[in-house]
Amino acid sequence: MFWPCLMAWNMGLVAAKKEEWMPAAVCFSSCARLISHFFTAADTTTAAFRAYQLRKVSAMLLTGASLLEIYKVDCVAAAGDPTAAATARNTQGLIAQASSALAKQQQTVEALLADNVDAVHDSNVLSTLRNHGLVLQHELSCLSGDTSAELRILQTAGDLTCTSSDIITMANNSADYGSAAAAARGFDVALTRLLADPQRDTSTIASVIRRRIEIEERSSAAAGSTCAQEKLGELYGSAATHLALLAGSYPGDEAAWLVTTAFNRGVGHHRMCRFAKAQCMFEIARTILPHALRSDPALERLQSRIDEALSIVKLELLGGNPAA
């Protein structure tokens, strides 16, 4: 009796490999519905039931993923043809369908986990499938412009068994086409987890630090407020601390990015006659440099440039320039 389920599953996989997302969504959805039809409450203790419930959850996940891919294609089409009202309506329908499919997937996973599945393997697989579903829900919220959902899903992910990689994926999605606030929150959560891990992945830590600063750079440029500038300074200060702790294994290119970006930001402030802010960034670059040298000795060439820049800006501040 399982032949229809397997056929629907296999046809869905074939369609997905060909990037034929609508047939894929139909096949995976059919697979999930067929499994629900074939199994009854009397089957819940059997090994076959557990195996097919995992398949059902996977099929629901892939249904949502396929609908999300269709939504992306339709968004591109709508952007290219602003008069295509029908396309815009279709994308709204896809949002609802994808959201429903992923919500049902999460509900099914939670119900199965609550049943205290005997096999530890099954529990681990279910947790992984739940995490993948959360990542897709978060991506959908980014694409649909639902900032509150982005933040809520990130909070949920932080409270559950989502990996640092899952949270970084969410943060990157928010950074690329979602909310800057959600992206900042995601990178903060990911960095806290990565630093707490005894086996620190310094390459990933450095990448997250850079992405977090990039997000704040864009936000501060848009806001232009003193508060935003102070937050950026705090991030560079924290980056200097992390670099000091991890300098022996910190990637050289990432260390160079921190120093040169801080210095270049100071140069930008100086050109705009914001001398106090320029001095702050030059001092941050000087603080970071000794630790960065342990990762990339070639950065020694920046020492004289930073010292010269600081000397110039201090003289200009002593001159009482009102633009400071």
Assess if residue 183 is contained within a domain: no
Q: Which of 96, 123, 144 is the last residue of a domain?
A: 144
Structural domain ending residue among the three candidates 100, 117, 144 = 144
Domain assignment present for 182: no
User: Does one domain contain both 140 and 206?
Assistant: no
Position 64 in a domain: yes
Q: How many residues does the chain have?
A: 324
Q: Which of 185, 183, 271, 281 is nearest to 230 (CA)?
A: 281
8 Å CB contact between 54 and 39: no
Total domains in the fold of the chain: 2
- Does residue 139 share a domain with residue 13? yes
Residues 38 and 113 in one domain: yes
State both tokens at 210: 């850079």
Contact 290, 243 (CB under 8 A): no
In a domain, 171, yes or no: no
110 and 213 together in one domain:
no
Domain ranges, residue 100: 1-144
Q: What is the dihedral of CA 244, 311, 221, 214, to 10 degrees?
A: -20
C-alpha distances in Å from residue 80, one per residue of 76, 83, 139:
6, 9, 21
Task: Kindly state whether residue 172 falls inside one of the protein's structural domains.
Answer: no
In a domain? residue 185: no
Q: What is the pLDDT of residues 47-92, one digit of tens each?
A: 777 778 888 999 999 999 999 999 888 776 665 555 555 555 667 7
Of 111, 144, 177, the one marking the end of a domain is: 144
Amino acid 148 reads S
Any domain includes 153: no
In a domain, 86, yes or no: yes
At residue 180's C-alpha, the angle toward residues 261 and 209, to 5°, is: 40
- pTM equals 0.81
- pLDDT by position in tens, the chain (length 324): 477 888 999 999 999 999 999 999 999 999 999 888 776 654 555 677 777 888 899 999 999 999 999 988 877 666 555 555 555 566 778 888 888 999 999 998 888 888 765 555 577 888 899 999 999 999 999 988 889 999 999 988 888 778 999 999 999 999 988 899 999 999 999 999 999 988 889 999 999 999 999 998 887 765 555 666 778 888 988 998 888 888 778 898 999 999 999 999 899 989 988 888 889 889 999 989 998 888 888 889 899 999 999 999 988 888 755 444
Residues contacting residue 53 through CB under 8 Å, at least 6 positions apart: 35, 39, 108, 112
- Per-residue pLDDT of 88-110, as tens digits, reads 566 778 888 888 999 999 998 88
Q: What's the first-to-final CA gap in the chain, in angstroms?
A: 78
